[in-house]
């Protein structure tokens, strides 16, 4: 099995290499989003392990997280390639990341402090190609998050994304080809569903529930 490990640190790669190379696995390491995409375009892999904490540097001090963006790229461009998430984010404390990972196409979610579970997951994937590597408890967490998640309509999602871009009501109306009165109605509905009273609260909750992410999730 050929495995691409995408992590900007060497610790996870070396840990997996030490064990899985003995199992006949061929491991390749990519430290950036761009390097991972380049390898995916030129080489064939059986699975990809993605660190959610992967970042892209925009300037001297600005960084953005691109772990989910990479999952989205793989889901769109190599849809049959299994992906697995490895992260320092504890899913028991932040179950929304389980939901985000599952919707972005990841077959499993493993924490960095349980590397043995990740290794076992890769072995299972190699042996019998299961539909999912999520545990029963993780699946319960995902379902619980879905039940709690406010359901915004497609138009409401478009409106809140325009708000996130800093557009005033008049420009949002023009962009969506509706009246400002209609925009105000959508905003009232958004505030009610997210249980907030202003734009700041709507953006905060919208981000929490995954409505302000990139294309990998925002239309879910």
Average pLDDT over residues 151-165: 94
pLDDT digits (tens, 9 = 90+) for 84-101: 999 988 888 888 999 999
pTM of the full structure? 0.82
Q: What is the pLDDT of residue 33?
A: 93
Residues 6 or more apart whose Cβ sits within 8 Å of residue 101: 52, 68, 71, 85, 109
Mean pLDDT of 99-109: 92
| Residue 19 CA from chain centroid, whole number | 27
Q: List, for residues 180-211, the tens digit of each pLDDT value.
A: 999 999 999 999 999 999 999 999 999 899 89
Task: Write down the domain spans for the chain.
Answer: 2-147, 150-208
Topology classification of domain 2-147:
Rossmann fold (3.40.50)
pLDDT value at residue 129: 75
Does residue 214 carry a pLDDT above 60? no
Residue with tokens 């709690």: 148
The domain 150-208 having CATH identifier 1.10.10.10: the answer here is: yes
Least confident of 45-54, 106-115, 138-147, 206-215: 206-215
Work out the average pLDDT over 151-168.
94
Q: Which residues contact 180 (CB under 8 A, 6 or more apart)?
A: 169, 170, 173
Would 2-147 and 150-208 be classified into the same CATH topology? no
Asked whether the predicted pLDDT for residue 62 surpasses 70, the reply is: no
């Amino acid at each position: 099995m050929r495995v691409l490990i995408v992590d900007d640190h060497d610790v996870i790669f070396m840990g997996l290499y030490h064990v899985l190379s003995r199992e006949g696995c061929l491991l390749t390491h990519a430290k950036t989003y761009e390097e991972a995409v380049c390898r995916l375009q030129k080489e064939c892999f059986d699975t990809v392990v993605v660190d959610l904490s992967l970042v892209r540097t925009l300037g001297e001090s600005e960084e953005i997280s691109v772990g989910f963006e990479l999952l989205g790229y793989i889901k769109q461009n190599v849809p049959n390639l299994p992906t697995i998430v490895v992260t320092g984010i504890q899913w028991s404390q932040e179950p929304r990341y389980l939901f985000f990972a599952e919707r972005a196409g990841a077959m499993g979610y493993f924490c960095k402090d349980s590397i043995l579970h990740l290794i076992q997951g890769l072995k299972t994937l190699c042996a019998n190609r299961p539909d999912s590597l999520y545990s029963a408890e993780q699946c319960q967490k995902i379902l619980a998050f879905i039940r709690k998640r406010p359901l915004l309509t497609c138009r409401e999602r478009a409106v809140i994304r325009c708000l996130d871009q800093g557009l005033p009501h008049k420009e949002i109306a023009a962009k969506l080809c509706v009246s400002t009165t209609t925009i105000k109605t959508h905003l009232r509905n958004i505030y009610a569903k997210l249980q907030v009273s202003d734009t700041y609260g709507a953006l905060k909750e919208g981000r929490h529930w995954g409505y302000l992410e990139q294309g990998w999730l925002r239309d879910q």
